[in-house]
Amino acid sequence: MQHFNPSTILYTPDALNERGKRALLTYPEAIQQEIKQHNRLPELEGNHYQVKSNVLVLGRLKTLVCRESGRSSDFIAPSLANGCMGACAYCYVDRNKAVNPITLFTNTEEILLAVDKHVQQQAWPKVPNQTHAQFYTYDIGCNSDVSVDASISDSVETAVHFFREHPKAFATFATKFVNPQMLTYDPQGKTRIRFSLLPRKVSKLVDVRTDSLEKRLAAINDFYQAGYDVHVNFSPVIVYEGWLDDYRELFEQLNEVVHPNLKKQMDCEVIFLTHNQWQHNINLSINPKAEDLIWAPEIQESKKSQFGGINIRYQYQLKAGWINDFRKLQQEVIPWCTIRYIF
């Protein structure tokens, strides 16, 4: 995994608990600057993507709210971090933010206590659903990439251990990176890692600065053997001439590498691309070739997100047909990899 080595660390005083102080010591050559609020940053040098590589923010998360999800998880946990060093052309976390460096929230124990209080309020036993048959699932990486966060502090390891011991709660996160350090966390089946996969030539273009498809595929069995519940995440599905042929190749690669025992329990989720005008404008100056694939007004329409933003998605009737095409291909090549949900 690409090494994160920030040259500047911004911190709020209330973030400098033991975890925050260790983060400062991890990067002794970085310029350190105190700020008042983690979400109100001073002007930073560099473009949107340079800032993601060069700046680390340490803060204390004060809004400890678990939000309903119902797709990849039952709930979205309060964030352990926000932002990522990757520069994926379609990233929804970056939308409408002038800069979005990694912000590590150092009050991990408070965050996990909020999860515990929340799950204790839920009916028990849980009614089985597609997220999990027994446990309430909490996405711990909705606004960041947990594999990257784990390279910065012990917050992810602390969370994995919390969920491992919890009688009702289960963790899940999607990732585009491979962090071998996480193989030592011993989750004992209580954390689900969802490797995000795109066809190779598309991933190289739009998954900027993330680990390669080959690395992600090669890590699947390792994480399964290390005790993770391993799923895959086909997201975002981008439609272009020949896209189904490329997914056939991807499915065949997946079929080849996954251990037979894992095939008995691996599921997937499928999310077709949504995009954003602001991202489009930024990408035109930084990654214009990606826009040739993901900006296609002739087959896209406006969509208001559940959080109020105006995004672009594939036209409803066209996407319905493409979803059927995707399902047919999945059933033909990897029928063992059940689709948990697709939209």
The CATH number of 8-342 is which of 3.80.30.30, 3.60.20.10, 1.20.1250.20, 1.10.10.10? 3.80.30.30
For the record, the structure tokens of 270 come out as 């499928």
Instruction: Work out the angle at residue 47's Cα, subtended by the Cα atoms of residues 79 and 272, and round it to the nearest 5 degrees.
Output: 55
Q: What is the pLDDT of residue 122?
A: 98
272-324 pLDDT, tens per residue?
999 988 889 888 988 999 999 999 999 999 987 665 667 999 999 999 999 99
Burial class (CB in 10 A: 0-12, 13-18, 19+), 336: middle
Q: What is the DSSP letter of 297?
A: G
pTM, two decimals, is 0.95
Domain spans of the chain, in order of start: 8-342
Which residues, in sequence order, are CB contacts of 324 under 8 Å at separation 6+? none
DSSP string, 256-284: HHS-HHHHTT-EEEEEE-EE-HHHHHHHH
Q: What is the pLDDT of residue 204?
A: 95
Helix axes 243-257, 213-225, angle to 10 degrees: 30
Q: What is the DSSP letter of 300?
A: E
pLDDT in tens, the chain (343 residues): 889 999 999 999 999 999 999 999 999 999 999 999 999 999 898 877 789 999 999 999 999 999 999 899 999 999 999 999 998 999 988 776 777 899 999 999 999 999 999 999 999 999 999 999 999 999 999 999 999 999 999 999 999 999 999 999 999 999 999 999 999 999 999 999 999 999 999 999 999 999 999 999 999 999 999 999 999 999 999 999 999 999 999 999 999 999 999 999 999 999 999 998 888 988 898 899 999 999 999 999 998 766 566 799 999 999 999 999 999 999 999 999 999 999 9
The C-alpha atoms of residue 258 and residue 147 are separated, in whole angstroms, by: 21
With beta carbons less than 8 A apart as the criterion, state whether 182 and 150 touch: yes
Phi, psi of 211 (to 5 degrees): -70, 150
Q: What is the pLDDT of residue 95?
A: 77
What is the DSSP pairing of strand 31-34 with strand 8-11?
A: parallel
Burial class (CB in 10 A: 0-12, 13-18, 19+), 231: buried
For the record, the structure tokens of 335 come out as 């029928």
Q: What is the DSSP letter of 153?
A: -
Q: What is the pLDDT of residue 96?
A: 64
Long-range pairs, 36-42, Cβ under 8 A, ≥24? 36/12, 37/12, 38/10, 38/12, 38/103, 38/105, 39/103, 41/10, 41/99, 41/101, 42/10
The C-alpha atoms of residue 21 and residue 24 are separated, in whole angstroms, by: 5
Q: What is the pLDDT of residue 17?
A: 98
- Taking alpha carbons only, the member of 101, 93, 82, 111 closest to residue 44 is 101
